[in-house]
Amino acid sequence: MTSNSEQLTAIRKRAEKWLDPLYDEQTNAEVKAMLDNDDPTELTDAFYKNLEFGTGGLRGVMGTGSNRMNKYTVGSATQGLANYINKEFSHLSERKVVIGHDCRNNSRYFAETVAQIFSANNITAYLFEDLRPTPEISFAIRHLKCQSGVIITASHNPKEYNGFKAYWDDGAQIIAPHDKNIIDEVANIESVSKIKFEGNKKLIKILGNEIDKLFIKEITNISLNKKIIENQKNLKIVFSPIHGTTVNIVPSALQEYGFNNIINIPEQDIVDGNFPTVISPNPEDPEALKMAIKKAEESNADMVAACDPDGDRLGIAVKNEKGEFILLNGNQTALLLTWYMITQWKKQGYIKGEEFVVKTIVTSEIIKTIADNNSIECFDSYTGFKWIASIIRELEGEKKYICGGEESYGFLPGDYVRDKDAVGSICMMAEIAAWAKDHGKTVYELLKDIYIEYGFSYEHMVSIVRKGKSGAEEINAMMDKFRNNPPKEVAGSTITVIKDFDKLEEINLLTGKKEKLNKPAPSNVLQFFTKDGSKISARPSGTEPKIKFYFEVKGELKERIEFNSSVAKAKNKIDAIIKDMKIE
Instruction: Identify the three-state secondary structure at position 486.
Output: coil
In whole angstroms, what is the distance from residue 360 CA to residue 338 CA?
13
Contacts of 176 (CB under 8 A, 6+ apart): 520, 521
Q: Which residues contact 179 (CB under 8 A, 6 or more apart)?
A: 55
155 is catalytic: yes
The active-site residue out of 76, 119, 138, 155 is 155
The vertex-520 CA angle with 514 and 526, nearest 5°, equals: 50
Query: CA-to-CA distance for 537 and 547, rounded, in angstroms?
Result: 10
Interstrand relation of 355-360 and 400-406 (parallel, antiparallel or unpaired): parallel
Angle at 213 between CA 203 and CA 415, to 5 degrees: 90
Determine the Cα–Cα distance for residues 140 and 101; give it in Å rounded to an integer. 13
Residue 328 is given by DSSP the state: P
Q: Catalogue the E-assigned strands of 445-540.
A: 456-465, 489-490, 493-500, 505-508, 514-516, 526-530, 535-540
d(CA 113, CA 388): 30
For residue 218, report the phi and psi dihedrals to the nearest 5 degrees: -65, -35
Q: Is residue 130 within 8 Å of 248, Cβ to Cβ? A: no
Active site residues: 155
